[in-house]
Structure 1
Amino acid sequence: MENKTEKKGGKKVIFIVIGLVALVIVGAGAYFGYTMFSKSKGTAKTTVQTAAKTTQTQTETQQTNQNQSYLEQIVSEKNVGLDECLINLADEDGKRYLKAKIFVGYDKNSKLETELTDKKPLVRDAVIAVLRNKKAADIVPKNMDAIKMELIQKINPLLKKGQINNVYFSDILVQ
Structure 2
Amino acid sequence: MADEELREEGKKGGKLKWIIIGVILLALLGAGGYFGYTMFLAPKDGDQAAEQAPAEDDVKPLETLEGTLVPLPVFLVNLADPLGRRYLKLGMEVEVRDPETQAAMGKYEAKIKDTLLLLLSSKTYDSLSTMDAKLQLKQEVADRLNQILGKGSVLRVYITEMVIQ
Shorter-chain TM range is 0.5 to 0.7
Instruction: Point out 4+ residue stretches in structure 1 off by more than 3 angstroms.
Output: 73-76
Q: How far off its partner does 1:83 sit?
A: 1.1
Q: Which runs of 5+ in 1 are unaligned?
A: 1-69
- For residues 65-94 of structure 1, give each alpha carbon's deviation from its aligned partner in whole angstroms, at most 9, with x where no partner exists: xxxxx99x4674212111111011000000
Q: How does 1:23-172 map to 2 (within 5 A)?
A: 73=63, 76-107=66-97, 109-140=98-129, 141-160=131-150, 163-172=153-162
AA aligned to 1:136 is Y
Root-mean-square deviation over aligned CA pairs: 2.2
Q: 1:114 to 1:161 in 2, by over 3 A?
A: farther
Specify the code of the residue in structure 1 equivalent to 2:156.
N
Superposed CA deviations along residues 120-158 of structure 1, whole A, max 9, x for unmatched, are 221121111111111011113221111111111212111
Normalised by the size of structure 1, how large is the TM-score?
0.54
Q: Secondary structure at the residue paired with 1:134?
A: coil
Distance in 2, matches of 1:121 and 1:74, equals 30
Identity score, percent? 25
1:82/1:120 contact within 8 Å kept? no
Distance 1:160 1:137 in 2: 31
1:173 positional shift: 0.2
User: Based on CA coordinates, which of the two structures has the bigger radius of gyration?
Assistant: 1
Task: Tell whether the 8 Å contact from 2:93 to 2:159 is kept in structure 1 after alignment.
Answer: yes
Q: Does the aligned pair in 2 maintain the 1:103–1:169 contact within 8 Å?
A: yes
Distance 1:101 1:74, change over 3 A: farther
Contact 2:138 2:159 in 1 (8 A): no
**1: CA distance between counterparts of 2:113 and 2:156?**
15
Paired letter, 2:148: L
Task: Name the aligned partner's letter for residue 126 of structure 1.
Answer: T
* Residue type of the alignment partner of 1:150: E
> CA separation of 1:150/1:160 partners in 2, compared to 1, >3 Å: closer, same or farther?
closer
Structure 2: which 5+ residue stretches go unaligned? 1-60
CA pair 145-155 structure 1, distance change in 2 beyond 3 A: same
